[in-house]
Structure 1
């Protein structure tokens, strides 16, 4: 797939493959326990225009920070013509449909969706990626998060980080050995 570049419109000219991280550590009244919330989120993402290409196994992971409860985490691949700001807006809408409200950082949440990759593209442009305070793709902290890298091994192990030049497999090995 060609290099995805910053687009000024809501859509890019070609489909771009993406990876979305899905996490939950609170039960939902309709969907049940966190693992079931993750499964329901995959379906809701499909209904929102992000059909699942591949879905990783759901892993139980420890919460980061003071979030408390363990998480159910997975990743899924999809493809879209949307640019990162529009993708993130759609992910936030799905989170809200599951009852997600703004709150403290690292708090417990019924659903957390993050755009992890956007093809082999960088958003914003590579020179701005490290300093940007807004949306950044690839996700700025993905290389430090086992709960993202471990499920990505199942669906995109050879994806290469366009800034670091490392595959998911290599980032996971470095995290383990670091």
Structure 2
């Protein structure tokens, strides 16, 4: 799958909850990473950066956002570039749910679904994460989850509904 395709659209989620020595606080890290994503193709849409509560044991607030990138790179090549970018920003693989300078995930792509040993599109947990769905729905409200056929707007609405106790 590695290589080039005709132009595809990728919805990428960004997150940070740790300062960077050059870029500063997590919100600035996410803003800088949004700029860096233009190296993969054309950034066609950017959400605002939001603050969100952490998952798991981390006590630090996250800064999150989403972008749409138009690229001729195949999904596995995009993933490799995202992981390279995370490392360039200082991300080190540590404990699960720990602090991180930068986290980049492919949420959806215009090619539908992708299943490979190190890559699953759509992202397996995105439907339950308001910090992903919220920013994503602001820039791609009509994009459909290929698994549920629901739009991002519909998925955001489902997450916002009160759940029975």
Tell me which interval the TM-score lies in, with the shorter structure as reference length: over 0.9
**Partner residue in 1 for 2:128:** 144
- Residue by residue, what CA displacement relative to the aligned partner does 1:63-112 show, whole Å, maximum 9, x if unpaired? 01112200000000111122211111000001111011111110000100
Give the Å deviation of 1:42. 1.0
What is the correspondence of 1:61-72 to structure 2 with a 5 Å cutoff? 61-72=52-63
1:55 and 1:68 mapped to 2: Cα distance?
A: 27
Q: Is the 8 A contact 1:26 1:34 kept in 2?
A: yes
Alignment of 1:108 with 2:92, yes or no, is: no
1:121 and 1:10 mapped to 2: Cα distance?
A: 17
TM-score by length of 2: 0.93
Larger strand proportion, structure 1 or 2? Answer: 2
CA spacing shift, 1:9–1:96, aligned 2, 3 Å: closer
**Partner residue in 1 for 2:19:** 27
1:80 and 1:67 mapped to 2: Cα distance?
A: 33
**Partner residue in 1 for 2:4:** 11
Give the Å deviation of 1:59. 0.4
- Residue by residue, what CA displacement relative to the aligned partner does 1:28-63 show, whole Å, maximum 9, x if unpaired? 1100111000111011111x2233111001000000
2:7 and 2:35 mapped to 1: Cα distance?
A: 20
Root-mean-square deviation (CA), in Å?
1.3
Give the Å deviation of 1:139. 0.8
Alignment of 1:159 with 2:143, yes or no, is: yes
Q: How many residue pairs get matched?
A: 162
Classify the secondary structure of the residue corresponding to 1:136.
Answer: strand
- Structure 1 moving runs of 4+ over 6 Å: none
Unaligned runs of 5+ in 2: none
